[in-house]
Amino acid sequence: MSAVKKAVFGLGAAVTAICAVTALVCGVIIGVRGIRLTDLTRADIFYAAGKRSDDAASLAASVRKAGGAGVICGDLVIYAVYAEKHDAESVAESTGTEVAELSVPVPNAEDEEFVAAATEAVRETEKLWRAVESGDMSGSEALASLDGIAAELCGMADSGRAVALGAALMQAADSAVSAAGALRRASALAAVTLARMPALL
């Protein structure tokens, strides 16, 4: 084997060894931290049906009086938030509103627990107000469940975001004109809080 071929072969072997060691080290780090590569790009998306307005505060007050969420996100006043896009699109078509995506940034390790709890709050409150509207659950039962969700968030003393959101959900229940309205507002508050979180990766 010529000197050139030996050098090329040696370089290739060295590169292969370095790549193998790097992959092993990365695999160990990822395994130890409990992070999978798919998790680094995963983010939940919720869908808000609402209207944009130059006077969002006034429109939000009207929406709340009518039993909607009335939560402001930029110039969008949210009527309700849905886990499924087709549900939001169906409502938007029938009410003359539009659909906006509320994307949840992938959290770092410190915020994982809060993001999981707040995401669950969005989903559960949607189920609750749907159950109230369909007659499968009474308003008082649904509001009791909302109190439980809020209390769980408030109990996360290490997370200021969780405590603040829990307090906001309790206030939503106290100030709404109906149980369904309170639950819509709670769902939208949780979704908007998540969507406004900075991207932490």
Which is more confidently placed, 7 or 141? 141
Q: Which amino acid is at 80?
A: A
pLDDT at 1: 52
Asked whether residue 76 carries a pLDDT value surpassing 90, the answer given is yes
pLDDT at 106: 83
Instruction: Quote the crossing angle between the two packed helices 179-195 and 112-134, to the nearest 10°.
Output: 150
- pLDDT, one tens digit per residue, over 9-50 is 444 444 444 344 333 333 332 233 333 333 434 458 999 999
- pLDDT, one tens digit per residue, over 80-121 is 999 999 999 999 999 899 999 999 988 888 889 999 999 999
CA distances to 59, 65, 73, 108 from 169, rounded to whole Å, are 21, 17, 17, 24
Distance CA 134, CA 142 (A): 12
- pLDDT, one tens digit per residue, over 118-173 is 999 999 999 999 999 999 999 999 999 999 999 999 999 889 999 999 999 999 88
Helix (H, G, I), strand (E, B) or coil at 50: strand
Q: What is the mean pLDDT of the chain?
A: 81
Q: What is the DSSP string of 89-151?
A: HHHHHHHT-EEEEEEPPPP-GGGHHHHHHHHHHHHHHHHHHHHHHHTSS-HHHHHHHHHHHHH
- pLDDT, one tens digit per residue, over 178-189 is 999 999 999 999
CA distances to 14, 15, 36, 63, 105 from 127, rounded to whole Å, are 57, 54, 30, 20, 23
For the record, the structure tokens of 171 come out as: 């206030």
pLDDT at 43: 58
pLDDT at 44: 86
Which residues partner with 100 through β-bridges? 48
Which strands make up the sheet holding 45-52, listed edge to edge?
A: 71-73, 76-82, 45-52, 98-103
How much is the pTM? 0.76
